[in-house]
Structure 1
Amino acid sequence: MMQTCSEQRNYPIFLECRIPRMTEDMARSVLLSFVNSKCCYSNRAARELVIQELKPQTFYRVRIPRKAPISVSVQYRLETFNETRLYEWTFEPYTTGLIDGPQNGAPPRPWDIKVQPPQMFQDDTKKFRVPHSSLVKECHKCHGRGRSKCSGCHGAGRMRCVTCSGARQKAKAKYLKHQKRCQMCSGSGRRRCSTCSGRGNKTCPICKGEKKLLHFIQLIITWKNNVYEFIFEHQLDFPRELLNKATGENVFKDENTQAYPLIDFPYPEITLASQRAIAEHISSFTSTSRILQQRQTVELIPVTEVHYCYAEKMYLYYIYGMENKVHALDYPERYCCGCTII
């Protein structure tokens, strides 16, 4: 559901009715599925438990680009999709072809180059050759020869024999003084260099034998989606990391070139989080990059506390997310089957 800045006061809290109401039969069925997926859980308790109370919880997730603070029952998220541009000199082997150098005009500035951005909120990096920035130079590695001295034999073409270590002979056995001529180097103490095949040089790794290099300015464009999350907890003893992975119902979405802070949201903590997140992103990204798009959302995450009785004791488990996941730390029928988790 899209809303403009002027509509932000009428928050669609009524959308909670989209979430199916949890019933006892559903709660028991979900727990049974969860228990049956665990090798060390018996389904006896799930079949025989007596549900005492179902307590639905109201959770919202609000998202804003970057780091997430302390857990809370309302979750807010802001995403800022920005573009960063950087110039750097680079080179490649020059073969043939026209050279687009300064004689054709001055190289454009980084932000003057028109580039089609990728899909919004998708990270990407691309590199482009800047027009009118090319020039040809002699290869600095081989000094225009196309070949360079072999680093293995230092141009000699031969290396010390590794079998006899250059001694030309080797002992027949450790406990015998008698020695015989090394068969690997035929007694010369040196062997042909395997790196350059005895030539003493090899194709220059920089210019690939072309003798010249084409130098040019390269434009590096980085698109990054920066995410800030804030979750406000409603006195519920529930692991935050589980909420982060749960799927919720989207009840508010605002997407524009620049997002505006929420106003008079039912939870003041979310209003403050929205103001703080947008201010932080504007401060962090406008000085070094260009903000292309911002998106802020609020999600409703269904969480139901299920209180039940088994073997005259009270227990508790949670059903959360649109997927009806289960969190049951104190399930009574657990045992060790000897399995090993890798």
Structure 2
Amino acid sequence: MMGVQKLAERQLFLMKSESLEKRVRAYYTETRDVDALIEYGVAILVRNFFCMGAFAGLIQDLIQEAYLSAEPTAVMRQYLPYFEKYFTADQLKIVIKRLFNGHSSYLTQTEEARLNSGYLAQEGTLDNRVEGLVYRVEAIFEDSIGKKHQLTIRETDSTFDEVQTIQVLTILTTLSIFDTADARKYATYVSYQTSGKILATAHNSRQKTKTVLDEEKTVAAKQAPQQEKAPKKTVTATDKKLPPQPLTPTRTEEASTVDKTTAVKQKEPNPTNWPENSNTTSRTPANTEPKKQAAASKANERLQQSDTSYKRLGKSKEQIQNNREGKKKKHIVDSLLGRKKDRKRNKRK
């Protein structure tokens, strides 16, 4: 069976009084560690000072028993002034006689403890408490190897001034119960602050009833009207974006383009025909060789022009280009050879 664990600062400064008392009693019953019991008692007195007397006399009977019956130790002598009020005048004389050679020896060896115990008996002097705020003391200590540690004491009295607070916090630097294997944890006091906060909400999983604030939130949520959903917007045909028009035209547009091209070509005069003059009965045609050359030059210019008909026709650019080049070449050959397009020339007799 595992033994009772030693109490750390978390239990000594954060546990509720009932739970803390059970832990200290269980530890002392099993270990009979008088020095640890005395130092636990001093730490509880420090917490009691800041927490407005909520831990007064927590383990008083154990402290009395230890000082009246246990074997005297240096720790018992060092911290006796903190517990003088636990004894009657006659009991205190017996304790001092057990621990010291005389009353003067007691005063000499406990000078620091008697000074510090005087601060524990004082009350706050500041008028700074605000109703509704919950205060806490947050202190910083440095251990023997230079590492800093924070100690928090909750639900404290904010009316203690700076001198009182520092002097009481310094008491913790004399205790060895917080030491580790490597260092003395609270070797030096560094700083502190007493902060106040508003406790807006709180919850305890062991409490079955809801708080009044939770009930009010639940009622308000039920009474709050539900937000109406915005009606869906009807999209008309005019609101919709029209699909992009295809770059290639329909077959009807293609046929219309071909017809226009044919009509333009038909309107061009045939270089081999001369218009008939009404005042002349007959006329001998001129040399047609220059006109044939002019027609060939014009055809070459057309071949060099960029063809954009692929953007309008349904065929690909390559198909249209090959088709056009074939027709133009045939037209050039026909023009050079003097061929005609299935039309008979009307000869005037």
**Which of the two has greater helix per residue?**
2
Q: TM-score, normalised by structure 1?
A: 0.17
- Ranked by relative contact order (alpha carbons within 8 Å, sequence separation 6 or more), the top structure is 1
**Which of the two has greater strand per residue?**
1
Q: TM-score, normalised by structure 2?
A: 0.16
